[in-house]
Amino acid sequence: MKDYLKQIEKKIFSNLEVEKIKIYDNSNKHKTHKFFNKDKYHLLIEIESKYLKSLNRLSAQRTVMTILKDDFKDKIHALEIKIK
């Protein structure tokens, strides 16, 4: 698990100008949901980035989602992004 979160962090750092990243696994909060899958993660990513902050909110989130698009196929079920 921690290795996977480090992989995500590395992908974001290598593709964007980012000062700081915090990633939280919120999967346990969603165990009772109808389509819960223990093999897919519910993540919260807090990104501190002057570059992303310069974009409008939608563009900033799309940028992050594009970087992680392959992970949505088999690793990520839900992603919350907070730009600081």
Number of structural domains, the chain? Answer: 1
Residue 16's pLDDT is 97
Beta strand 20-25 with 41-48: parallel, antiparallel or unpaired?
A: antiparallel
| Among 64, 63, 17, 67, residue whose Cα is nearest residue 45 | 64
Q: CB neighbours (10 Å) of residue 81?
A: 18
How far apart are alpha carbons 9 and 45 in whole angstroms?
9
pLDDT in tens, 24-50: 998 877 566 666 666 788 999 999 999
Q: In terms of C-beta density within 10 A (0-12 exposed, 13-18 middle, 19 or more buried), how is residue 12 classed? A: buried
Specify the CATH number for the domain of residue 74.
Answer: 3.30.300.90
Containing structural domain, residue 7: 2-83
Specify the pLDDT at position 35: 65
